[in-house]
Structure 1
Amino acid sequence: MAKYLLLKHYRGAPAPANDVPMEQWTPEEISAHVQYMRDFAARLEGTGEFVDNQALAPEGMFVRYDGEGRPPATDGPFVETKDLIAGWMVIDVDSYERAIELAGELSAAPGAGGKPIHEWLELRPFLGEACTITE
């Protein structure tokens, strides 16, 4: 088994095929999207492949050490930015191919009009985990 992080980006580049901004979705469309992800996680809990997940608030800031005391912090990230991380899921699967398969399924979460949003998900193995990328 190897652990992978699936990073869910909000309006990342390249844009999803169904690129209707989430703030324009109806409450029912948002509920359907969230329920899809809950059902997906529940199914992976049943197979033992689910580790954890969390949605992230759009508010935040960037912080870095400046070597002079209090770290400087900037406003942001902002919803208008090109690449805002909206949430993450950790999976523990038998193969890299299975991780790709599950990322593809999660990418098909419904959006506006109930159509799959085909969003890009970042798939990253945990450091030190065995992973063979053949492409």
Structure 2
Amino acid sequence: MKYVIMIHSNPQPWGHPTSDYLAAHQALPADVRKRLNAEFEQVMTELHANGELLGGEALGDPANARLYRWRDGEPLASDGPYSEAKEHLAGFFLIDVDSQARAEEVAARFSGPDETVELRPLMWPGGDDQ
């Protein structure tokens, strides 16, 4: 079963990893930040070793994003990434796991202070969720 794990964040100033730019993460004791980073590296190593990690990328500065909406019969470009939100999609990971329970276990391990992690199944050709 394929899922995408999307990391939503609102760091100011912009940078990766996003957690380094979030006040709630910066306020954590150094040993807690070190533990969280180690846990992230552990889950990435585990996913890679299991063949569950298909890919992932950090996304560029949302100030450079453009939205395209259909208006008056043609696409109209505007600044992005979202029309009325401070939070943006900071990056994603594509995983292929045996079950929804495993996907939920992995996604929970991606969450951190002041970040939202969205887990969404991919759709097969034809439009049905896996």
Query: Would the TM-score normalized by the shorter structure come out above 0.5?
Result: yes
1:83 alignment partner, one of 80, 87, 101: 87
Secondary structure of the corresponding residue to residue 104 of structure 2: helix
Is 1:127 the counterpart of 2:123? The answer is yes
Partner of 1:64: 69
Structure 1 gaps, min length 5? 12-19, 109-116, 131-135
Distance (whole Å) between structure 1 residues aligned to residue 76 and residue 38 of structure 2? 38
Distance (whole Å) between structure 2 residues aligned to residue 62 and residue 91 of structure 1? 26
- Structure with the largest fraction of helix: 2
Structure 2 gaps, min length 5? 11-18
Mapped contact 2:40–2:109 kept (Cα < 8 A): no
Residues 67/37 of structure 1: CA separation in 2 closer, same or farther (3 Å cut): farther
CA-CA distance at 1:7 after TM superposition: 0.8
Partner of 2:9: 10
- Structure with the largest fraction of strand: 2
Residues 120/68 of structure 1: CA separation in 2 closer, same or farther (3 Å cut): closer
Mapped contact 2:67–2:81 kept (Cα < 8 A): yes
| Deviation by residue 1:34-74 (Cα, 9 ceiling, x = unmatched) | 776455323211011111101111220111233645x2110
CA-CA distance at 1:99 after TM superposition: 0.5
Distance (whole Å) between structure 1 residues aligned to residue 72 and residue 37 of structure 2? 42
Partner of 2:57: 54
What amino acid is the match of 1:62?
A: L
Root-mean-square deviation over aligned CA pairs: 3.3
Distance (whole Å) between structure 1 residues aligned to residue 80 and residue 2 of structure 2? 29
Query: Could you tell me the percent identity over the aligned residues?
Result: 32
Distance (whole Å) between structure 1 residues aligned to residue 81 and residue 37 of structure 2? 22
Is 1:107 the counterpart of 2:103? The answer is no
Instruction: Give 4+ residue runs of structure 1 displaced > 3 Å after superposition.
Output: 23-26, 32-39, 65-69
Distance (whole Å) between structure 2 residues aligned to residue 65 and residue 37 of structure 1? 39
Distance (whole Å) between structure 2 residues aligned to residue 88 and residue 103 of structure 1? 11
